[in-house]
Amino acid sequence: MKVRTETRRAAMVETAAAVFLEMGYEGASMKEVSTRLGGSKATLYGYFSSKEALFIAVVQMYATSHLYNAVSDLLVTSRTGVSLEESLLQFGRKMLKIVLNDSTAIKVYRMVLSESGRSDIGTLFYESGPSQGIDALATLMSAAVESGELRKGNPKILAKQFLSLITAEPEERLFQRDPQPMTLLQIDEMVATAVDMFLRGATPR
């Protein structure tokens, strides 16, 4: 029964993603999603209490799941003696592999950007993924500051600065009509450059 429930929920999120991407957050409705599913609104509301909750599920499935994996691995490596540099390299690679090459994730990001000025969609997106990545990185940065690997500074600011470097090169892809997938080698080079730049600026002088 649990497997069937999870399968049904996944189908709802998949259908909702198509509706949100086609109609935008404001234009989408629970009624439209339930109609495309071939069921009732009551069934849909049994899984998701609101359009907001449904959108968060879409974001988590298509746009921020990679962050959860990267964050989980980051928290593990930070406790197992892996160097700060290697922890940042691993985090950056896992993050960019999805951000750069998953077409649906890119479409969700674009929708969030286009709708943010008209609704709370940007806040919902941020709180459902990116903020957790920042918090995990801040924990790593805090430990590095305490150990003397990084010079003193606000751990959360350091985390945001690192993320800005990681996304600096590929950011333009969000504005391209049909960006081509990037190779793992290209991603590794981007991440290595960003990590090197960050450590050069943040390590004690």
23-70 confidence digits (pLDDT tens): 988 899 999 999 999 988 999 999 999 998 998 888 888 777 667 677
Cα 107 → chain centroid: 13
Domain 2-58 belongs in CATH node 3.40.50.620: no
- 62: Cα within 13 Å, side-chain hemisphere: 27
Distances (CA, A) of 170 to 33, 137, 167: 33, 20, 6
- Rounded to two decimals, what is the model's pTM? 0.77
Comparison of pLDDT for 81 and 9, the residue scoring more? 9
Distance CA 14, CA 19 (A): 9
* pLDDT band with cut points at 50, 70 and 90 for residue 4: low
Which pLDDT belongs to residue 2? 57
Nearest to 137 by CA among 99, 194, 92, 175: 92
Distance CA 124, CA 55 (A): 8
Would you kindly state where each structural domain of the chain is located, as residue ranges?
Answer: 2-58, 63-202
Ordered DSSP codes for 65-85: HHHHHHHHHHHHHTTTT--HH
To which residue do tokens 């209490």 refer?
A: 49
Cα 92 → chain centroid: 12
Per the prediction, the chain carries an average pLDDT of 85
Which pLDDT belongs to residue 78? 64
Cα 112 → chain centroid: 12
CATH of region 63-202, choose from 1.10.357.10, 3.40.50.740, 3.40.50.970, 1.20.1250.20: 1.10.357.10
Distance CA 165, CA 187 (A): 13
Which pLDDT belongs to residue 56? 86
Distance CA 117, CA 14 (A): 25
The model's pLDDT over 158-193, given as tens digits with 9 standing for 90+, comes to 999 999 999 888 888 878 887 888 888 999 999 999
Distance CA 193, CA 179 (A): 21
- List the structure tokens of 202: 């943040």
The model's pLDDT over 94-123, given as tens digits with 9 standing for 90+, comes to 888 877 777 787 888 888 888 888 878 888
Which pLDDT belongs to residue 3? 57
Type of residue numbered 10:
A
